[in-house]
Amino acid sequence: MLRNLGGIRLSSEAWRYLAVLASISIIAMYVEMVVMPSLPTIERQYGITESEVSWVLSSETLAGLALAQSLVSWLIVTVERRYC
């Protein structure tokens, strides 16, 4: 079964992949929001400055981006093999 998404026809399997990608992005945003309130505690506990503690958030964001990029790459290869 094909459905339209902004003029692009997607199969039900593609919709499932889209749901997985949406879930990954929601989880990444959730993890970032969990880390944010703990930054002042990390700053006090380890005696570091605000600029140093911001690297905690930056490294977490970069790790999430790397994971998301690898999952998207896998998804693209999988879809291309199946439909091309």
pLDDT tens profile 65-78: 788 778 778 877 77
Average pLDDT over residues 30-34: 80
The whole-angstrom separation of Cα 55 and Cα 48 is: 11
Number of domains the chain is built from? 1
- The dihedral formed by the CA atoms of 46, 50, 52 and 58, expressed in degrees to the nearest 10: 110
Q: Which range marks the domain in which residue 49 is found?
A: 2-83
**How buried is residue 82: exposed, middle or buried, by Cβ count under 10 Å (0-12/13-18/19+)?**
exposed
Residue-level pLDDT at 46: 92
Mean pLDDT of 1-22: 69
